[in-house]
């Protein structure tokens, strides 16, 4: 579970789920081979392709009564995993 942090559940990714593409937030140092092994082990599916992308933290500013507070959001790495045709990953099965 150290490679996969959490699945991404957004409207855009949910539309890709119908095509067999699933999104995950992964460890920054994880490579495609490690991500493939982790997904296959956790969900029991055959992975056919992986696309990864790294996101930098964004500057956020909040205005309070006392002062202006500035900071950054966390940087993260995202992986789009394509599974073989006919296989699905059910994120809501255990609920």
Say which CATH class 4-83 falls into: alpha beta
Where are the domains positioned within the chain?
Answer: 4-83
Q: pLDDT per residue over 44-87, tens digit each?
A: 999 999 999 999 999 999 999 999 999 999 999 999 999 999 99
66 secondary structure, DSSP code:
S
The token duo for 2 is 């150290």
pLDDT of res. 92: 78
Query: CA–CA separation, 23 vs 26, rounded Å?
Result: 9
What is this structure's pTM?
Answer: 0.85
For residues 22 and 50, the answer to whether their CB atoms sit within 8 Å is: no
Q: What percent of the chain has pLDDT over 70?
A: 98
Query: CA–CA separation, 38 vs 19, rounded Å?
Result: 21
Which of 36, 27, 29 minimizes the C-alpha distance to 83? 36
pLDDT of res. 1: 55
């Amino acid at each position: 579970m150290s490679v996969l942090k959490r699945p991404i559940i957004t409207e855009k990714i949910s539309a890709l789920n119908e095509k067999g593409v699933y999104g995950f937030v992964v460890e920054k140092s994880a490579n495609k081979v490690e991500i493939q092994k982790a997904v296959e082990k956790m969900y029991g599916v055959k992975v056919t392709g992986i696309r990864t992308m790294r996101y930098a933290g964004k500057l956020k500013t909040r205005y309070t009564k006392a002062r202006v507070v500035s900071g950054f959001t966390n940087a993260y790495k995202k992986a789009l995993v394509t599974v073989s045709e006919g296989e699905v990953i059910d994120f809501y099965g255990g609920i």
